[in-house]
Structure 1
């Protein structure tokens, strides 16, 4: 966890293209609130997407297993090292903060850029027990405290060694604040952070599916699960190769993995259509018997059931597909080094729509189910047993819980990507989270 009250926090302003910073930005020390306002103004007024990069001391306890490690010669690590080295020559603040070689870098990407990654990919998750808090692996749930002082880092050198993603770091046209042109650094940080986020979703879905299938003993669902989980190896290898600026080959098996994922997404689409049709056939404004509901949604009234397994299989397919889309976008961007960020976001945007529609559709079904009123089972007996009453109450509670935490059309937030850098220049990129 970062303690923002302990020290001055250097912050870079990173551009993804040649642009100008509004004169409003200023050059002096800022509070956290002022930095947040600056990000909002830059997102609205700048011609090109502008990110900010903060540098903090590396926390004592850090679960590196949640992130994606990259060695010192990877494009992301090289671009980060280049930025740090160049700015440290001209900025005592940056030099002092990065002297130890071990730091935690926090990049915040504007919401309008984050929207390219998919509406449901990174959205706020409310923290239990903290009013207005957001759950995150490193950031204090209460947010950045006001006592922190953020100091803009001076301009970097205008030239840097090309490597990795292809472009160099330099200085863009600016207003009153230093603005470093760092499209490759932003692109690679976004790619790895989003990939790590999607992989975390995959791991969560795998845990849920495994538990459900142990209860169900459904061979067909088990086969679906195995085929999807078998895609992980090819995707992991492709991720490692691309993020080290390698070339993908047929031997990786990525094509067959994509086919299996697309097949699973097709099954999820068909199930979604059936669920919507079943809900449309229910009488409006009337209570529904459990038996009627479970015909179309088997096991919806229980902790484990086919319906819930189908939900988790869809979540797994979505998470895997999001990782594949990021890989395809990185490959596309690296093939056009003169136009990195625009190529990257275009490739992402084209392929996200289907995933967004599927995810929103499933969320809509869950919300509709959670609002249903359950009726007592019909029968000749005027009195029901305590067991029947208990089942009805449990089923009502479980069905109403389906809507917990579901957002049909989530508001896209700024995205934070946290990068731990070691003395040898290697990095670990953690899952993207709401800023």
Structure 2
């Protein structure tokens, strides 16, 4: 997404509170590699979460539909505007880069810090076949490697403001010569919107898959499950908009009923997971398994569609919606305690994230166990099989073997990047949180 033709890239080091660290930065220009090293050192040494914010040119072509749009009066947009205006007074690179008003900001949260708000939220994406991923290599619009940009630190500026309407003033903190901009509200809101957008993207993908599967199945009960989950979106979207505008959630939004529907779906997913693991445990160890035996518990496992695959997608949808709700609850609690923003935010996110992580790991484990099974030839008295039967058996074996493709268990945690497009009028679009490296 980022256009790296710009040679000079201003970069802020943002802390969520007064951080005490030894001198590791300085005010000299840095390479991308040096900036990445600095983030890692800051995350290790600082006693508060640290993030970096880069300022890039706004690309000519930008798919804004992938992100969450916020107007110029939203807290995130205001915090960003204040940071820009105050920084531009004392930094020529910032003043030059923001002269047009439209820019793309890239907030990178180190892996150590990202782990604080949920290990299952963002995983590395494979470059091949992925869309919208952020790449570590500096590739220009023509697909060729470009001259790496120079990152110029911006220090001594403060993003004054609040997230919740009180307290949480921000300023510049110098610790042993390293200038940090204390901007807890800006980091909080960027992470909250980026994570919410990421979860909504997963929801859209899951719904698309489920719709295709249900067209083949014509299963009324599964369609009811999808309708119940899909009906939660309106309440979640409204609650997101209200909270990001510093409003208060009310009963009239219907968020309570949406949470109930999501929790019910999570419960069904856990019940199905237990049933699947129990069936796999009963299979004779080391012996081939007939496909008919598998399809009793995993209907449709021998094909591209089927009830089993639909159940998996329904679980993925429920998890995506639950993560959006978790972000809402975390933001609400954080805004209720403006002097304890990031700690409260991450604590609320971690509460349910462990259970969601266990569910996802359990589902991934089932797929891996199925993919490792050896299939037995059908039980028949005929000495030979028809060519069509042999083809069918080979196709089924291949499809079951592929169930383990792309399954990630406890994947390596990466730095998380959140991109924010800012228009001249001050409005912003926050794109889904993605791995900073691919």
What TM-score comes out, normalization by structure 2 length?
0.95
Map of 1:383 onto structure 2: 384
- After superposing the two structures, state which structure 1 stretch, 274-283 or 312-321, moved more: 274-283
Map of 1:290 onto structure 2: 291
Measured in 1, the distance between the counterparts of 2:135 and 2:371 equals 32
Map of 2:31 onto structure 1: 31
User: Structure 1: 5+ residue runs without aligned partners?
Assistant: 130-134
1:141 Cα deviation (Å)?
6.6
Map of 1:267 onto structure 2: 268
Measured in 2, the distance between the counterparts of 1:120 and 1:315 equals 12
- After superposing the two structures, state which structure 1 stretch, 314-323 or 380-389, moved more: 380-389
Measured in 2, the distance between the counterparts of 1:86 and 1:44 equals 29
Q: Give 4+ residue runs of structure 1 displaced > 6 Å after superposition.
A: none
1:359 Cα deviation (Å)?
0.7
Map of 1:212 onto structure 2: 213
Measured in 1, the distance between the counterparts of 2:123 and 2:329 equals 23
Q: How does 1:195-274 map to 2 (within 5 A)?
A: 195-274=196-275
| 8 Å contact kept, 1:3–1:140 | no
1:201 Cα deviation (Å)?
0.3
Map of 2:96 onto structure 1: 96
The alignment's C-alpha RMSD in Å is 1.6
Measured in 1, the distance between the counterparts of 2:329 and 2:110 equals 22
- After superposing the two structures, state which structure 1 stretch, 404-413 or 195-204, moved more: 404-413
Cα distance change, pair 234–175 in 1 and its aligned pair in 2 (3 A):
same
1:41 Cα deviation (Å)?
0.4
Map of 2:44 onto structure 1: 44
Measured in 2, the distance between the counterparts of 1:390 and 1:111 equals 46
Q: How does 1:48-197 map to 2 (within 5 A)?
A: 48-128=48-128, 135=130, 137=132, 139-140=134-135, 142=137, 147-157=148-158, 160-162=160-162, 166=166, 167-197=168-198
- After superposing the two structures, state which structure 1 stretch, 258-267 or 118-127, moved more: 118-127
Measured in 2, the distance between the counterparts of 1:40 and 1:164 equals 30
Map of 2:142 onto structure 1: none
TM-superposition CA deviations, 1:241-277 (whole Å, max 9, x none): 0001101010100000000000000000000001111
Cα distance change, pair 233–297 in 1 and its aligned pair in 2 (3 A):
same
| 8 Å contact kept, 1:170–1:181 | yes
Cα distance change, pair 242–111 in 1 and its aligned pair in 2 (3 A):
same
Q: SS of 1:173's equivalent?
A: strand
Q: SS of 1:402's equivalent?
A: helix
Cα distance change, pair 163–294 in 1 and its aligned pair in 2 (3 A):
closer
Map of 1:132 onto structure 2: none
| 8 Å contact kept, 1:417–1:430 | yes
| 8 Å contact kept, 1:31–1:146 | no
Cα distance change, pair 266–58 in 1 and its aligned pair in 2 (3 A):
same
- Count of residues in Structure 1 that have an aligned counterpart in Structure 2: 429
Q: How does 1:394-405 map to 2 (within 5 A)?
A: 394-405=395-406
| 8 Å contact kept, 2:43–2:113 | no
Measured in 1, the distance between the counterparts of 2:331 and 2:368 equals 35
Q: How does 1:323-342 map to 2 (within 5 A)?
A: 323-342=324-343
Q: SS of 1:375's equivalent?
A: coil
What TM-score comes out, normalization by structure 1 length?
0.95
Map of 1:360 onto structure 2: 361
Measured in 1, the distance between the counterparts of 2:34 and 2:371 equals 41
1:33 Cα deviation (Å)?
0.5
User: Structure 2: 5+ residue runs without aligned partners?
Assistant: 140-145
1:147 Cα deviation (Å)?
2.0
TM-superposition CA deviations, 1:216-243 (whole Å, max 9, x none): 0111111001000000000000000000
Cα distance change, pair 120–420 in 1 and its aligned pair in 2 (3 A):
same
